[in-house]
Structure 1
Amino acid sequence: MTKEVLIKQLSDLVRFKTLSGNVEENTKALDYVQELIGQGFEMERIKNGKAEVLMASVVKGNSPKYCYMVHVDVVSGRDDQFEMKIEDGKAIGRGTCDMKFSIPLGISLLKEAREKQIDFCLMITTDEEVGGLEGAKLIAERGFSPQILIVPDGGENLNFVDKAKGVCQLKLVAKGKPAHASRPWLGKNAIDPLLKLGAELLKIYGENNLTESWKTTMNFGTISGGTSTNQVCPEAEMKIDFRYPETDSIENIVSVVEGKIKELGLEVEVSKLSTGLPTFTDVNDPEVKRYIGVMEEAFGQKIVVKQTYGASDARHFAGLKCPVLMHKPLGGEIHSEDEWIDIDSVMTFCEGLKKYLGLNS
């Protein structure tokens, strides 16, 4: 892949407004990718709800040696952010770093893998930004089990990610009884129990939010209820996002929340939204050591191993215990107005991947 091809394809991809849930734009983007891939591959397009997954493989089967998993969906942005620009060797635009840069690479690697008959699969999802519940999760549940999962969707400053926190998002609903705000004793405010519960949960998890730590953190994402200031709220809900390390679990978090509800004598219903297991990769695994060694040679510097706090589609494959190679080129400002990826770094990353996969031998 030449630098010119990278820039052209990345610019075209950025132009698609592939917000999660925008079925039309994501379909157009995948159509474009499929056209670039061309003929001669095992190609499958799986639609599920508002998501679609494109899978292109060199060898037919459900357990390729290498799966290169990326996503084409992005978060929202201004119209001008969907027109990529080049400044000081950086490609700037929505999704350049998270993570459309990876798609031209994946197409190039796929084509070269076919020439060498390397068992390689390119998987592109369209709902990673909203949890991957209709995309990657479905593929995992169907029994897709790669031997090695390559996910260029984490790690800053060329860091290799050895572990990522799991996610547990809960919805809490409380119901009350409406009344005029001047006579609150005639009603039952649904917001009150959520506030009481929230205060108790902060006593447990609040300290973990104050500084960087490998402990379970909690974020009150939304609290909603009521339609008028002068009415006692009849129904309210609160959504909480927990990020937890491998020493905690979804079951334990739910147990803590439900335990506090019972202890306080509250009437609050708990349901799960998006959940995912923590991912962990043993850096002493021979494949991981080989990968890091190849990338250190390619970039001419030491690759630092570090954990990440965000989640990716890799969470849905955590149960496989296969090595997850989570690493990416230099980039930054994801989800911001100035999101960028370094073009030369992408090219070096591509060369490193080619060597690791045995494509340049």
Structure 2
Amino acid sequence: MNACDEIVSLTQDLIRIPSMHSRPEEIMRCADFVVQWCGRQGITARKIVHDRTPSVLVMPGDHARLLLMTHVDVALSLVLFRDRLRALERNGRTQGDMVLGLLITGDEETGGENGAARALEGIGADFAIALDGGGPERIVTREKGVVDIMLTATGKAAHGARPWLGRNAIDMLLEDYARIRELFEGDDGGDHWHRTVNFGKIRAGESINQVPHTARGWFNIRFTEDDDPQRLAEAIADRVRSRVEVLSTIPVFASPPSPMTDILLDIAPGAVLTREHGASDARHLMVHGIPGAIWGAEGFGTQHGLEECVSIPSIEKLHDRLSTLCDRLESDGGR
């Protein structure tokens, strides 16, 4: 069985475990499966748990030259690590001599605060690759940040037969939305690398014949490295009548310069550095000053959907390129 066939087979085993955030016990079972698989391969792996979220560390020590960040159902990194270790062992070396480390986390759907964010407090790396986006020909070095806010508009209740006696909170919320949108006008030529806002959810009213007293709206804001999220939230609060509450903030991922980026482009002819509008665990690297990229197999934009899939040929291509990268790092004598 070649590496790609084994990756596919192991992926099938992993995705049979329904490791969704709504089923934390299954995420834990998947992490245990990974640790047990490593044990059968003679690989030292360590499971850590924070707030019931497991992560698995497969490291040469506390620091790796190259760290692959994956989620519990991504098998490519495991097979790659095993094969690189076998090659070292044939030359009398051990896991402690590996250039490669793995961080496998169980909270891909909930932001990584209990997974990557916590695990990176105890390990280090010269460079990290999050296998969670991009594609074999697209190496992502920037991703937008995210701010989620809630607006609460307070009007005056009245009967629907006499709406002029009240003040409709929905109307107030929509008026505030129009004011917010003024902060998000503009385009930079088509790729939409500017801040955006989405009015995603509204809750108001108890009855169709009643003027609602209260209306709440939830907004998802994506911002670039040119924006200050705190100032953006303050600008929104200054121009609306509703009460503004910042629910969460996810920082921008913008990798510091690294010679490793040039190596990636060298081993992946035709690949380009690019940026994406989503957010991944790569953002947690910024706290520790670790340069990195998001690089993955081709998923056709189906991630987290009912039709989620991945191109098997692209898995093989990515595996081969990562193996070449490890060859390069192992042969340069630690430079």
Partners of 2:323 and 2:85 lie apart in 1 by 13
Match of 2:313 in 1: 344
Pair 1:138–1:250, CA change in 2 (3 A): farther
Partners of 2:112 and 2:152 lie apart in 1 by 24
Match of 2:67 in 1: 67
> Do the aligned residues in 2 keep the contact of 1:58 with 1:113 (CA within 8 Å)?
no
2:203 to 209, 219, 224: 224
Match of 2:324 in 1: 355
What amino acid maps onto 1:268 in structure 2?
Answer: R
Partners of 2:45 and 2:18 lie apart in 1 by 27
Pair 1:17–1:322, CA change in 2 (3 A): same
What amino acid maps onto 2:293 in structure 1?
Answer: L
Match of 2:132 in 1: 153
Match of 2:173 in 1: 194
> Do the aligned residues in 2 keep the contact of 1:181 with 1:232 (CA within 8 Å)?
yes
Correspondence 1:86-235 to 2 at 5 A: 100=73, 103-115=74-86, 116=88, 117-140=97-120, 142=121, 144-156=123-135, 158-184=137-163, 187-208=166-187, 211-235=190-214
Q: Answer with 206-215 or 168-177: which moved more.
A: 206-215
CA deviation string 1:123-142 (max 9, x = no partner): 222222232233323334x3
TM-score (norm 2): 0.84
1:46 to 46, 49, 70: 49
Q: Can you give the 5+ residue segments of structure 1 that lack an aligned partner in the other structure?
A: 73-99, 297-301
> What SS does structure 1 have at the residue aligned with 2:268?
helix
Pair 1:258–1:338, CA change in 2 (3 A): same
Partners of 2:183 and 2:230 lie apart in 1 by 16
Pair 1:225–1:135, CA change in 2 (3 A): farther
Deviation at 1:352, TM superposition (A): 1.4
> Do the aligned residues in 2 keep the contact of 1:57 with 1:110 (CA within 8 Å)?
no
Q: Alpha carbon RMSD of aligned pairs, Å?
A: 2.7
Pairing 1:58–2:60 present:
yes
CA deviation string 1:23-47 (max 9, x = no partner): 0221222222222111541402213
Match of 1:78 in 2: none
1:280 to 239, 254, 268: 254
Deviation at 1:311, TM superposition (A): 0.8
Pair 1:67–1:36, CA change in 2 (3 A): same
Pairing 1:334–2:308 present:
no
Pairing 1:242–2:227 present:
no
Deviation at 1:287, TM superposition (A): 1.3
Match of 2:93 in 1: none
Pair 1:53–1:237, CA change in 2 (3 A): farther
Pair 1:329–1:231, CA change in 2 (3 A): same
TM-score (norm 1): 0.78
> What SS does structure 2 have at the residue aligned with 1:53?
strand
Partners of 2:301 and 2:65 lie apart in 1 by 33
Q: Percent identity?
A: 26
What amino acid maps onto 1:122 in structure 2?
Answer: L
> Do the aligned residues in 1 keep the contact of 2:160 with 2:210 (CA within 8 Å)?
yes
> Do the aligned residues in 1 keep the contact of 2:136 with 2:318 (CA within 8 Å)?
no
Aligned length: 317
Partners of 1:53 and 1:209 lie apart in 2 by 39
Partners of 1:48 and 1:120 lie apart in 2 by 27
> What SS does structure 1 have at the residue aligned with 2:245?
strand
> Do the aligned residues in 1 keep the contact of 2:200 with 2:219 (CA within 8 Å)?
yes
Pair 1:10–1:286, CA change in 2 (3 A): same
